[in-house]
């Protein structure tokens, strides 16, 4: 009787898979956002869709970073906090905002990149409203949950921009470090 030999993927193979997933998911999420931006109109339904699509992009990127960090965490072990390590191992016990913040902090440490995002400034507390608003849009209890006032809209656009920049800056720093 012949037993099947299972080959355990090497860390490099697992990292390649994580990056392939990142690039494939990035293409789809970026296309969604660009297509939406091409049809921009000043309406409530467009604003709601923008928040939903942007939040998907933000959470999708953060998930891919966690996959990369999980492989890196096994190979190198720079100092990361207990909560950062916890979010890398399992995202389930963290809300979306915590996952994004802790993942980005861990990613910069694990891949030894600088400058790390500044979560101590005024941008981070404000940016958290993007995923909070997306939650209301996806689970509305009243019509007011679906409204995005002009004032809130301007803030949400700035918040999305800041969050996306933090995620894109990671890949840019990684490419700069490795000459890509």
pLDDT digits (tens, 9 = 90+) for 90-146: 888 899 999 999 999 999 999 999 999 999 999 999 999 999 999 999 999 999 999
The predicted structure's pLDDT at residue 21? 95
Task: Say whether pLDDT at 1 is over 70.
Answer: no
Enter the tokens of residue 142: 């009243």
112 with 174: CB under 8 angstroms? no
Domain ranges within the chain, ordered by starting residue? 11-172
Phi, psi of 115 (to 5 degrees): -85, 145
State the pLDDT at residue 8. 87
C-alpha–C-alpha distance, residues 103 and 28, integer Å: 21
Contact of 68 with 105, CB cutoff 8 Å:
no
H or E stretch at 32: helix 11-38
Check pLDDT > 80 for residue 4: no
Residue 47, pLDDT > 70, answer: yes
Predicted confidence at residue 2, as pLDDT, reads: 61
- Model pTM score: 0.88
């Amino acid at each position: 009787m012949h037993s099947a030999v299972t080959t355990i993927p090497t860390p490099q193979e697992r990292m390649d898979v994580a990056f392939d997933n990142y690039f494939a998911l990035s293409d789809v999420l970026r296309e969604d956002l660009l297509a939406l931006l091409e049809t921009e109109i000043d309406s409530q339904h467009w604003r709601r869709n923008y928040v939903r699509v942007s939040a998907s992009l933000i959470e999708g990127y953060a998930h891919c970073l966690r996959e990369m960090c999980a492989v890196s965490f096994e190979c190198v072990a720079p100092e990361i906090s207990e909560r950062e390590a916890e979010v890398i191992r399992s995202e389930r016990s963290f809300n979306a905002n915590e996952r994004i913040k802790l993942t980005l902090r861990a990613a910069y440490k694990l891949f030894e990149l600088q400058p790390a995002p500044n979560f101590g400034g005024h941008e981070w507390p404000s940016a958290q409203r993007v995923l909070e608003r997306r939650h209301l849009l996806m689970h509305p209890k009243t019509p007011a949950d679906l409204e995005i006032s002009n004032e809130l809209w301007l803030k949400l656009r700035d918040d999305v921009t800041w969050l996306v920049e933090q995620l894109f800056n990671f890949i840019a720093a990684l490419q700069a470090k490795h000459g890509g």
